[in-house]
Structure 1
């Protein structure tokens, strides 16, 4: 073997031995690479040497792996060969044990026979004397303990009188150790009572001196007193003395605060009146100053500075009167509907205080840790390894990135993770955070009330309604955008589902109010002037100035609804982007909890995780948002609650077009648009409906048949078809003039908004018409060839004005025909033979006009067919209709003819 080979083998052996000292591979790699040659500045380090060193390390590991594999194979072979002999060896051992047992019995028997009786008697006497000696020594120890207890009270009292508190504590500690001797005896309870009494005397004697030392910040005396209290097992009492003395100033500041919007206990009337939100940062600043001042003494006096400081903070908040929860509840009640924004201010001040405390805790933890010198290269460092692995084992797991050396508040040392002061600090907020959706909705409703009240004060009621609708919508969208910041600040994203619910209900309530008040408010827009050529052309449509104003108002409201819809879509895009950011942060906190926290501290995060805000609905929402934003094929698991993982069962292929989050809002907006469309159609069709108001009462329906016409019918003399009535002719002229009306509004985008809500309009026909207009739309939709962008709602392509006009004309035609068949025709009471002939002619004429408007109405066709039916056939259909109640047209016509 060459010298190089031996060197490599020796180095590999040492390397493997060093690896055996570690429980984690990451710690071993880091310590191995920390060599003096490579411990240079990062900017000046030689990366080539580092690469060579890593290559050498990989070579050594490969050699070690091969050696280990070879040794393992040899061991397996040896074991395989040895197993068949195991049964034989066990049987052989059993036989040997039985033989040995028999031999021992024989030897014992022979040894007893070999000892003379005199010797045996002497040995028994020696054993008896040894037992007596042992028992006498035990009795002497008990008597000594009893003697020490008889003088215990006098000795301890004397030492206390001499102010030899340390000796008195040691004497009590020694006596306390002997208490076990009297356990289960009648002497135990009296001696226990004596021990407690003496400890109380010592504590009472020390209390005044202890308080004086604490107030004067005599660290040496406090440290001595702490050791005394620890000896007599009164360490908790010492902490109570210390905490009560050191927190007196900050508790007094809390109690004497003169607040204008929260409960006061004993306010200082000379102090300036201030709000709770203004007072709290000052209180926290004073508290942080006190904690910084206590950092040195606590480190010197107590063996566990972080735990001591945590207990000090908790005890201070417990001693506040009124409590933080009571004052916060009073503060919330004072502001009522607008309390949420003030809640945010108070929570942010508390989070800043918590962040400052975490930094202080880290300093205490670092100060209490013993600094270690850098070990030599290739040397074993078990102590350093143990400390580092204990810090990493809390949250670092294989497969995750190694935690950074930078400490994020709430994500630091394992010793700090177990402290519960931050949970106690944020506990008063959790009820309000859980009730976030209600608070947010009340705040938004209050904002709407202020907007409406402000408009009333500014004389906005004199402005036209469409403009007022748009302006208020702008203000409401602005208020809703602010709600995203409040959701993030107050719930750190856990209230995202509630945010959508509150905003959706807020917008829907606003739009529903306008829908309900659309008829009750008078038209405030100015009437149009009819001097233009187009207006003169429409002068024969029999519309009054009020009718034109109503049409104008309805279309302007419909146009405002379109603008509001665009603004809501823009807001929803921002909302999706906001939710995607929160979902991304949740995922980071889930994958790397050491360096990322959702809230300000881990305690606040845990409270939010354990609340009802962390629901399956929330996680499903984040999963959908992430799929839409990033194209993820795997749903997001519960960030901090594993049982919720089973609730995320989404399709592997996310929807190409994101569904609207503001479902109720868009539903209400569609209802409002439909209300505007119905109002517009009612005004447009009002002249035609007025013409039909007297149609059922025309005398022609009950006119008797002319005998000459009857004779001509018997002689089969040919007759000409009847002309429609004047009413029907005027109605038909009005229907044929409707396209001229829409030519005036052809450039109005309001008509193209929400076509799907037009009454009696077939959505499939509308969809096919739009697709024929834009055949390229289907090939360019999101998801065909590429995924959708960041959850933006696609903006619909503009619709051809001809398609819009056709849709409106078809809807108007159906509306008019429906009015004719449902309201007008059933009003005819009697129908003679000439009346039936005239009605048939009118219906035939109207059917042709309706077809010219692309209107195919089954009810109108049914009326026309039934009116032309033969008497026997009609009677049969009427009887069947009377039996099953389906064909009401046949039944009504039969009653008009007097056949039923």
Structure 2
């Protein structure tokens, strides 16, 4: 058995564990004692070997110590000698430096003089050569050797640069400019022929001549001019087809062909959206061919030369492109097509009043923009080898015709949304026909409720259009438009609420509360409606209640749908914040903001890379101030407390409060009518009439007013059940529906109680007979409240206790209670009403 000594060097060596491991290696039939004895013997032998080896190596080390000491002493002596040598060398160098500094300064002066003399010599040679070149340049031009002429002019330019601004050579400088223009004009015919006939060698030679004389810009201009003619033929093809179709249509109309032929001629009319892809395809094919040819003809310049051609093309057709886009957007709507007008004409306000912006106008514009976007992606792929600034300029030129529309996007979107809101049926309820007002009220509420999802769809569609058309760069204008249009919609709903209040006749009954202030004819109209309600049937009365309760559903759905839309809009804005900031800056928004704050001019924006080449990023780079405001808005949208529609959110809340107020006024209207002039009822001041027969001194039954109120309150839960069921669409909402019904039931009951207490406080005088009667009325109302599981207010209980007590016992009752169960203020008031004075 071999002994492994490596485990002994481990800091966590465990002897027991090591012995157990060694014993596990024994044969099962061998006794443990024998194994332990062998192991001990081997360990002892190994330890003796280690001790012997250690002793031997220690002896050898002791013998080497004297030799090492001698080596150390020798190295120390050599180090001292080396230090002395280095010190002497340094002293010598210092002496040499002092003597050579003057020599070096002298040599520097000599070198300066030499270089000046050489420069003067070269200048004299250039001046002599310039004079010679000026005298022989005409002979060179006469020979027709254009490369030699270019070389001569380049040498003249070099000589003029060398001699500087010398008056004697001013004429030669002017002569040089004339000669360069002359050579440029001589190159152009050959360059034109080379470009038209695809002569690579000639094109390269002409390019070399222009480059030699510093006229590369002339090459770009001439190259663009030659090919722009061919490309404009593609663009003018649209007008030619339109004129041809117009002529055919006029001919068909003059000859009065059959209806089938007429329809066929109408179908042949070309739309810009159907023609534009073919134009882009032809243009792309043309540019691909030019790209391949320019790689051979102009290998140093093709990456900028072909994109320059496309840029100049878009600039040349830009105004025509905008006009065609405008007309194309008008062709999709019959009203604007008949006038041959488009979006820009609608925005200018020059069209008749009935003509307004429609969704189809924007959809047509977005379709054309999408077609251009496809072409832009193909161009970006074709010009992928070009420098990033060249790509940026090219893509900006492609989208330039749409910039006019994007700058007015907010106005366009506001017009579309306003038209959508105006198209909704939000008529208020009519107040002219008596007897069917409840039905009309329900119909009005139905129209209000059905309009909510339509409005939300309009808002969502507007958000999608903004992303598709502007890439989110006009998100700030979108939010303003959405907010304004939502306010317009909510204002229409508020108008309906006013008509509902007028029909229900609640304004005349609550004017004393101070929450509604009608003036003039409005107040008279409201009072008239209130009188109408008094004479309607019970069924009509409950139809008002049901219609008013349905308005709660309108408020609830409006609040929830607007809230959900706002959350979705915040999510969209947060996504735009990430995408746009990465495209423009290539870093997180916080770093972007600090970068913008640190740079002059409110931030110098730039595209983060080729991945950021999209229309939105390109627009923002050109308008840093707008970009700063937009990024601030997008950053704020990440806050959960941010309201994407700030004004609309406030109006939604105000609308919900107005709805709650209307519903409460309608539900409490019956109570108000019954309690009207309650404090001045004759029953409170009646006295017991003398009779020959014994009769009860008071009525054993409550009066009609409180019976009507009690029956109304007990019937109200049945009226709340349908609305609660409409809210409870699933078992999960059952508790919510029950809470809703209970909440409104309690609210109306509490209001009825408060109105009753208010009327009781207004009683000026009460006889014993009247006190007995009012105590019965209060007891009946208390029983109704108990049936509705409502607690009896202490004030009402105090009224009941004090009115039930005989007059001669009331003072003692109040004094004995001392406020433990009675409301002292109310008790004192009852005493005053019953003619008692508490001392």
Same structural fold, with TM-score higher than 0.5 when normalized by the shorter chain: yes
- Look up the match of 1:814: 750
Which moves more between the two structures, 497-506 or 740-749?
497-506
Q: In 2, distance between residues paired with 1:682 and 1:278?
A: 60
Q: 1:119-140, CA deviations, whole angstroms, 9 ceiling, x for partnerless residues?
A: xxxxxxxxx9xx9999999888
CA contact (8 A) 1:361 1:416 kept: no
2:397 paired with 1:447? no
Correspondence 1:322-361 to 2 at 5 A: 322=319, 332-334=343-345, 336=347, 337-338=357-358, 339-361=361-383
2:635 paired with 1:599? no
Q: 1:569-593, CA deviations, whole angstroms, 9 ceiling, x for partnerless residues?
A: 7767876776787678679865797
Displacement after TM superposition at 1:206 (Å): 2.5
CA contact (8 A) 1:751 1:804 kept: no
CA contact (8 A) 2:799 2:830 kept: no
- Look up the match of 1:515: 494
- Look up the match of 2:462: 483
Displacement after TM superposition at 1:668 (Å): 5.4
2:177 paired with 1:196? yes
The structure showing larger relative contact order (alpha-carbon pairs under 8 Å, at least 6 residues apart) is: 1
Displacement after TM superposition at 1:518 (Å): 3.6
Displacement after TM superposition at 1:291 (Å): 1.4
Task: Look up the SS of the partner of 1:233 in the other structure.
Answer: coil
Q: In 1, distance between residues paired with 2:551 and 2:568?
A: 26
Q: In 1, distance between residues paired with 2:682 and 2:657?
A: 38
Q: In 2, distance between residues paired with 1:521 and 1:259?
A: 60
2:667 paired with 1:687? no
- 1:617 pairs with one of 633, 640, 645: 633
CA contact (8 A) 1:153 1:198 kept: no
CA contact (8 A) 1:444 1:479 kept: yes
Displacement after TM superposition at 1:199 (Å): 0.7
Which moves more between the two structures, 133-142 or 554-563?
133-142
CA contact (8 A) 1:250 1:287 kept: yes
Which moves more between the two structures, 96-105 or 507-516?
96-105
Q: In 2, distance between residues paired with 1:739 and 1:90?
A: 119
- 1:158 pairs with one of 139, 147, 161: 139
- 1:310 pairs with one of 304, 307, 311: 307
2:148 paired with 1:170? no
CA contact (8 A) 2:580 2:617 kept: no
- Look up the match of 2:295: 299
Displacement after TM superposition at 1:178 (Å): 1.0
- 1:464 pairs with one of 431, 435, 443: 443
2:692 paired with 1:698? no
CA contact (8 A) 1:562 1:750 kept: no
Displacement after TM superposition at 1:284 (Å): 3.1
Displacement after TM superposition at 1:237 (Å): 1.4
Q: Aligned pair in 2 of structure 1 residues 816, 556: CA closer, same or farther (>3 Å)?
A: same
Displacement after TM superposition at 1:516 (Å): 1.9
Displacement after TM superposition at 1:239 (Å): 0.9
Q: In 1, distance between residues paired with 2:113 and 2:650?
A: 100
Q: In 1, distance between residues paired with 2:383 and 2:737?
A: 70
Q: Aligned pair in 2 of structure 1 residues 501, 181: CA closer, same or farther (>3 Å)?
A: closer
CA contact (8 A) 1:160 1:205 kept: no
Q: Aligned pair in 2 of structure 1 residues 852, 255: CA closer, same or farther (>3 Å)?
A: same
Q: Which structure is larger by alpha-carbon Rg, 1 or 2?
A: 2
2:750 paired with 1:735? no
Displacement after TM superposition at 1:197 (Å): 1.3
Displacement after TM superposition at 1:203 (Å): 1.4
Task: Look up the SS of the partner of 1:180 in the other structure.
Answer: helix
Q: Aligned pair in 2 of structure 1 residues 242, 837: CA closer, same or farther (>3 Å)?
A: same
Q: In 1, distance between residues paired with 2:97 and 2:568?
A: 89
Displacement after TM superposition at 1:615 (Å): 1.6
Q: 1:650-679, CA deviations, whole angstroms, 9 ceiling, x for partnerless residues?
A: 9xxxxxxxx997777676566555555554
CA contact (8 A) 2:471 2:616 kept: no
2:281 paired with 1:285? yes
Q: Aligned pair in 2 of structure 1 residues 548, 236: CA closer, same or farther (>3 Å)?
A: same
Correspondence 1:493-504 to 2 at 5 A: 493=472, 502-503=481-482
Q: In 1, distance between residues paired with 2:88 and 2:830?
A: 113
**How many residue pairs get matched?**
623
Q: In 1, distance between residues paired with 2:826 and 2:470?
A: 60
Correspondence 1:401-800 to 2 at 5 A: 419-426=392-399, 429=402, 433=406, 439-452=412-425, 464-493=443-472, 502-503=481-482, 506-507=485-486, 509-520=488-499, 544-559=538-553, 597=612, 599=614, 603=618, 606=621, 611-612=627-628, 614-621=630-637, 675=658, 678-699=661-682, 727=703, 730-743=705-718, 745-749=720-724, 797-799=733-735
Provide the aligned C-alpha RMSD in A: 6.0
2:81 paired with 1:97? no
Displacement after TM superposition at 1:600 (Å): 6.1
Q: Aligned pair in 2 of structure 1 residues 360, 135: CA closer, same or farther (>3 Å)?
A: closer
Q: In 2, distance between residues paired with 1:602 and 1:221?
A: 41
CA contact (8 A) 2:725 2:737 kept: no
Q: In 2, distance between residues paired with 1:555 and 1:470?
A: 12
- Look up the match of 2:335: none
- Look up the match of 1:458: none
Q: In 2, distance between residues paired with 1:156 and 1:495?
A: 60
Q: In 2, distance between residues paired with 1:268 and 1:144?
A: 72
Q: In 2, distance between residues paired with 1:85 and 1:332?
A: 98
- Look up the match of 1:408: none
Which moves more between the two structures, 287-296 or 509-518?
509-518
Q: Aligned pair in 2 of structure 1 residues 415, 568: CA closer, same or farther (>3 Å)?
A: closer
Q: 1:729-767, CA deviations, whole angstroms, 9 ceiling, x for partnerless residues?
A: 53255235423332354354367589xxxxxxxxxxxxx
Q: In 1, distance between residues paired with 2:85 and 2:833?
A: 114
Q: 1:191-245, CA deviations, whole angstroms, 9 ceiling, x for partnerless residues?
A: 2212111111111222333334334443332221111110111110121111122
Q: In 1, distance between residues paired with 2:103 and 2:453?
A: 109
Q: Aligned pair in 2 of structure 1 residues 741, 269: CA closer, same or farther (>3 Å)?
A: closer
Task: Give 1 or 2: higher helix fraction.
Answer: 2
Q: Aligned pair in 2 of structure 1 residues 282, 888: CA closer, same or farther (>3 Å)?
A: farther
Correspondence 1:70-149 to 2 at 5 A: 95-100=91-96, 145-149=126-130
CA contact (8 A) 1:469 1:560 kept: yes
Q: In 1, distance between residues paired with 2:183 and 2:115?
A: 38
2:223 paired with 1:242? yes
Displacement after TM superposition at 1:543 (Å): 5.2
Displacement after TM superposition at 1:309 (Å): 2.3
- Look up the match of 1:229: 210
Q: Aligned pair in 2 of structure 1 residues 420, 813: CA closer, same or farther (>3 Å)?
A: same
